Structure 1
Amino acid sequence: MIDIKQMTIHELRNLFNNEESEESEKLLMGLVKVAKKTNNKSAFFGLLMVLIGNQNPSRKFCEFGFIEGLTSSGVGSLKSNFTQNGNKLWNYKGEDGYYNILFGDIIIGAKDDRKMSSRMKAFIENGIPLDNTVEEVIRVLIEKIENSIHSTREERQSLIQKINTCYEELDLSSVSFEAEESGQSTVNKTNVLQVKLEKLINNGVQQIVLTGAPGTGKTYFAKKFAKNLPDVGEINGEKFAFVQFHSSYDYTDFVEGLRPVQIEDGQTQFVKLDGSFKDFCRAVVKENEPNKKYFFIIDEINRADLSRVFGELMYGLEEQYRETIFQTQYSNLPTYEMKNKRAVPMVSDVFENGFFIPKNVYIIATMNDIDRSVEAFDFALRRRFQWIEVKANDVMKDALEGMQQNNEIHQDINLHELIESVKALNSLISGEEGRKMGLTEAHHIGPAYLKSKASDIIDAKGEIWEYRIEPILKEYCRGYHNTQQFLAACESAFLGLSKDE
């Protein structure tokens, strides 16, 4: 029997990566069973870590209590109260009789609450990386689930969605410990996405993917974040470099390649030129500002063949290999640069002995969940990125207020009414009727669809529905039965019409 409580994160990763491990399969199947139970509201809300043991995996749970050591976890069972270090823990049963602990909740024993609170406060203040511990486990779990052949696609998607939903409730950077009689800690949240991204960057995460429904402002947010973050370096007067991937984008565009250019004597010749990312890294090295952060933003990252685009850069992206020299495909050829529309040999090549990615280069990429090309996202590359889901309803208010300030929405429009309308629509999209059409939260209508110059709310919503929302919903529902009936229900939900209207 393997006891996860006694395993380090690295040991846990090795266990999950061992495809032949019987324990690994037990863990995975247990997770799928928990997903089923949780969806039926017959198990804990949000407890998704399964303890491998002698009992049925779906009956024994491993919950992150963030106690001493951080590699062990509080253990709970459906049939018994939680205990940890000999203390009986808080009674988490809600009025409905179900346990309602959220994944990542900080658990404080009912006995010696003040002492336990003080100890945890000391752990956090001493820099124990709670975030990294949880994020590492989540990343390994999701990777393992995605590669599972022992569960259906619906089961895998349901479990991953539940894990992501639970993780969104966790914001350790804003946890303040107060030794109250109840033993509970207070959590304050402001601008969750901003806080989450800053927290990841400050904890050393260097590759991040913002994923979510179309029109949620992922690209806009990435640019704004890079501009406003402290200690950001500039290249050619810009605080970030930006590229958009597409189906024809390849290694030559991103890293390096041979291109036909005119050389000094006016003749056309194929020479090696930097791609966008290598050129950016070269500029960062020349700046010689190791304490500055430099951001490279990739829009629509999943639209390219990522194995062809990144090549051996997948090695260089690993945290432990940052600034480690490796050879690129054309490393045996001299590098040229463009001057006055002519290619000339590079005089001082910082990558002469091989390429490396500077430690202070950060990549923020964006992608839409519903794109079919998402399924082709390279799993080896996927592991090297931290994933953050951007939900339409979560960013709606801030985004629409910004759009109104930029005159993309008329000043006379009541934003509260518009927000309530689109939330009603999104609820229908991801509800029972929407699921019959193959729709999920990934198909929610984001704020970018709500631009309108109309000054009257009724006119604005009518225009938005006719020219922006209805066409995209028709595409989403193509091939399904009862599409017109569903679209009519969506129109009524958004416009606020009764069935008779």
Structure 2
Amino acid sequence: MISEFKNYIRNCAEKFGAKADSYILRDNTEISFNTKTPGAYLGLVEFEEGNSGVYHDFSFVVFPSDEEMHSLIVTLGIGSQGFKNDYSLASYPGLRRLFKKVTNENGYCKTDFSDIESSLPKKFLDLIESDYLKKSIIKYKDVLPACQIVNEPFGEEGKKIIEAFIAAYAKLRDWPSNKDHRKAVSEALEPFLETETIDDTEEVKNLLNERKYIVLQGPPGTGKTRTAKNVAEKIGAKTFFTQFHAETSFSDFIFGIRPDTANEELRYKENLGSFSEALKYAVEHNKEKVILIIDEINRANLSNVLGPIFYLFEHKMDVSNVEIEIAPNFKVKKLPENFSVISTMNTADRSLAVVDFALRRRFAWYTMKPKIIKSRNFFNEDFIKIQEIFNWYASSTELNLQPGQGYFIAESEDEMKNRIRYEIFPLIKEYLQEGLLSNAKEEFNNYFSTRINLSLFE
């Protein structure tokens, strides 16, 4: 059975692009099982590590429960000698993201793949039914950043998991060298990488019914403003729109006075801000739904802009004995039920201050992410290439910088090249100049050099 399984692993590796000098298939199972010593394993190890002895760096390792392989654990392992060449690879966030997706409730991923000191958690070890297998895993417990229990390794689901782990390892080792190899890797990983298709408009509409005050946050080009407008249209609301900027003030948003330029003499007239206009309309038309859309809410000094109305943004405020003056002869104790606010916030705008925690409590926060859209004008390959670079190299914070799907819509190939040249290329160059995504600079440079014949470093 073990001999058959070794051939299966070898065939998978070759299908994913491994060549004879890409790896060594180690097997210590015969010795371990004969001596009843825990630690029997089969492993795809870097070629330079040799056929025996201790080794370094990442490997694909299978720990069987017995010679018949009734159950096993597939892992991304690290040689007991630690890191020699793979330490920088271990720091790439995409490596953990990839293996996290190919593990399920019977698996475990470390939060830091460069960590070779922390042990596997008891919760995972308790899932292992075979005593021998548990002892084998404990023997290497510090150097197994990703593990997955497979109770029926020769069943359809078991083979899917095993092949996905080998495909992920092939991706790590950059084995695929042609279209067939890349297709095989993609097909093996696809069942684990599929993400649920979410209708943002519908999700936000439902959330609005529950919370009333929402902030749509996400990178540029993810359709935040468009979604806000679509929600308002879908529920048939009267829409008011404003966009914040650094100079937006209380008098712009709530109430102030302005010079009356139509008169020859200097006179001032009252000015209702966009919030007050929307609120007054909602009070006077209490049977009609009203939505105020605030674009780029985090661009203004919110404490100065909101003033005392900050108090009113409580979505479950039933009774209030505090009356807030919005404008002369216009006071409210609470915001009317037919009045809602949808705001947008660009998470890639690094020059802006962190939003006040008190404001965060008063609003619901809905994150919009870059996604593939079905349109003949959507340049899917460019989107996927940029997304792959971000997924592999970007930290959790840097993921907020990924250009959204709006950047990849064009009427023609020439228009798309211009969008890359004059929009995406300058954006990525700015990120790199600010010290962001530094690990990805060569990948980005290769993409731009190939796609539009421009280098980031000229």
Confirm or deny that 1:97 pairs with 2:103: no
Confirm or deny that 1:389 pairs with 2:367: yes
Give, in angstroms, the shift of residue 376 of structure 1: 2.5
Give, in angstroms, the shift of residue 79 of structure 1: 4.8
Query: Hey, what does 2:444 align to over in structure 1?
Result: 487
Confirm or deny that 1:295 pairs with 2:295: no
Query: Hey, what does 2:226 align to over in structure 1?
Result: 220
Q: Is the 8 A contact 1:421 1:495 kept in 2?
A: no
TM-score by length of 1: 0.49
Query: Hey, what does 1:450 align to over in structure 2?
Result: 408
Q: Is the 8 A contact 1:316 1:322 kept in 2?
A: no
Q: 1:59 to 1:449 in 2, by over 3 A?
A: same
Q: What is the distance in 2 between the residues matched to 1:242 and 1:283?
A: 13
Q: 1:479 to 1:281 in 2, by over 3 A?
A: closer
Give, in angstroms, the shift of residue 329 of structure 1: 6.4
Q: Is the 8 A contact 1:369 1:442 kept in 2?
A: yes
Give, in angstroms, the shift of residue 327 of structure 1: 4.4
Q: 1:439 to 1:255 in 2, by over 3 A?
A: closer
Q: Is the 8 A contact 2:224 2:344 kept in 1?
A: yes
Q: What is the distance in 1 between the residues matched to 2:280 and 2:389?
A: 49
Give, in angstroms, the shift of residue 322 of structure 1: 6.2
Query: Hey, what does 1:473 align to over in structure 2?
Result: 428
Q: Is the 8 A contact 1:213 1:369 kept in 2?
A: yes
Give, in angstroms, the shift of residue 216 of structure 1: 1.1
Give, in angstroms, the shift of residue 194 of structure 1: 2.6
Query: Hey, what does 1:153 align to over in structure 2?
Result: none
Give, in angstroms, the shift of residue 249 of structure 1: 0.5
The correspondence of residues 296-335 of structure 1 with structure 2, limited to 5 A, is 296-321=292-317, 324=320, 326-328=322-324, 335=328
Q: 1:211 to 1:268 in 2, by over 3 A?
A: same
Gaps of 5+ in 1: 1-34, 48-57, 61-76, 82-93, 100-187, 235-239, 336-348, 410-414
Q: What is the distance in 2 between the residues matched to 1:198 and 1:325?
A: 30
The correspondence of residues 346-495 of structure 1 with structure 2, limited to 5 A, is 349=329, 351=330, 353-354=331-332, 356-393=334-371, 396-398=372-374, 401=375, 409=377, 415=378, 418-432=379-393, 434=394, 440-454=398-412, 457=413, 459-480=414-435, 485-491=442-448
Q: What is the distance in 1 between the residues matched to 2:150 and 2:348?
A: 33
1:96 partner SS: strand
Amino acid of the structure 2 residue aligned with 1:253: D
Give, in angstroms, the shift of residue 469 of structure 1: 1.2
Query: Hey, what does 1:112 align to over in structure 2?
Result: none
Q: 1:439 to 1:465 in 2, by over 3 A?
A: farther
Give, in angstroms, the shift of residue 382 of structure 1: 1.1
2:245 partner SS: coil
Q: What is the distance in 1 between the residues matched to 2:264 and 2:316?
A: 44
Confirm or deny that 1:244 pairs with 2:243: yes
Give, in angstroms, the shift of residue 207 of structure 1: 0.8
Give, in angstroms, the shift of residue 375 of structure 1: 3.8
Give, in angstroms, the shift of residue 385 of structure 1: 1.0
Q: 1:262 to 1:46 in 2, by over 3 A?
A: farther
Q: Is the 8 A contact 2:276 2:326 kept in 1?
A: no
Q: 1:354 to 1:464 in 2, by over 3 A?
A: closer
Q: Is the 8 A contact 1:430 1:444 kept in 2?
A: no
Moved more, 206-215 or 487-496: 487-496
Q: What is the distance in 1 between the residues matched to 2:292 and 2:325?
A: 22
Q: Is the 8 A contact 1:323 1:358 kept in 2?
A: no
Please list the CA deviations of residues 110-136 of structure 1 after superposition, one character each: whole Å capped at 9, or x if unmatched. Answer: xxxxxxxxxxxxxxxxxxxxxxxxxxx
Q: 1:482 to 1:322 in 2, by over 3 A?
A: same
Amino acid of the structure 2 residue aligned with 1:452: A
2:294 partner SS: strand
Q: Is the 8 A contact 1:254 1:309 kept in 2?
A: yes
Please list the CA deviations of residues 393-426 of structure 1 after superposition, one character each: whole Å capped at 9, or x if unmatched. Answer: 2xx314xx2xx6xxxx4xxxxx4xx213211212
Confirm or deny that 1:199 pairs with 2:206: yes
Q: 1:452 to 1:196 in 2, by over 3 A?
A: closer
Amino acid of the structure 1 residue aligned with 2:222: T
Amino acid of the structure 2 residue aligned with 1:428: I
Q: 1:243 to 1:98 in 2, by over 3 A?
A: farther
Query: Hey, what does 2:271 align to over in structure 1?
Result: 273
Please tell me whether Structure 1 or Structure 2 has the larger radius of gyration of its CA atoms.
2
Query: Hey, what does 2:82 align to over in structure 1?
Result: none
Please list the CA deviations of residues 2-59 of structure 1 after superposition, one character each: whole Å capped at 9, or x if unmatched. Answer: xxxxxxxxxxxxxxxxxxxxxxxxxxxxxxxxx9xx8796996799xxxxxxxxxx96
Cα RMSD (Å) of the superposition? 4.1
Aligned length: 286
Amino acid of the structure 2 residue aligned with 1:194: T
- Percent of residue pairs identical: 28
Please list the CA deviations of residues 432-456 of structure 1 after superposition, one character each: whole Å capped at 9, or x if unmatched. Answer: 2x55xx97321212222234343xx
Q: What is the distance in 1 between the residues matched to 2:403 and 2:353?
A: 21
Amino acid of the structure 2 residue aligned with 1:313: I
Give, in angstroms, the shift of residue 228 of structure 1: 1.7
Q: Is the 8 A contact 2:286 2:338 kept in 1?
A: no
Q: What is the distance in 2 between the residues matched to 1:190 and 1:460?
A: 28
Q: What is the distance in 2 between the residues matched to 1:274 and 1:210?
A: 26
Query: Hey, what does 1:174 align to over in structure 2?
Result: none
The correspondence of residues 24-43 of structure 1 with structure 2, limited to 5 A, is none
Q: What is the distance in 2 between the residues matched to 1:322 and 1:492?
A: 60
Q: 1:323 to 1:306 in 2, by over 3 A?
A: farther
Q: What is the distance in 1 between the residues matched to 2:253 and 2:126?
A: 55
The correspondence of residues 50-61 of structure 1 with structure 2, limited to 5 A, is none
Q: What is the distance in 2 between the residues matched to 1:96 and 1:78?
A: 9
Q: What is the distance in 2 between the residues matched to 1:390 and 1:426?
A: 15
Q: Is the 8 A contact 1:256 1:273 kept in 2?
A: yes
Q: 1:496 to 1:383 in 2, by over 3 A?
A: farther
Query: Hey, what does 1:338 align to over in structure 2?
Result: none
Q: What is the distance in 1 between the residues matched to 2:418 and 2:347?
A: 26
Q: Is the 8 A contact 1:255 1:277 kept in 2?
A: yes
Query: Hey, what does 2:280 align to over in structure 1?
Result: 282
Q: What is the distance in 2 between the residues matched to 1:328 and 1:367?
A: 27
Query: Hey, what does 2:70 align to over in structure 1?
Result: none
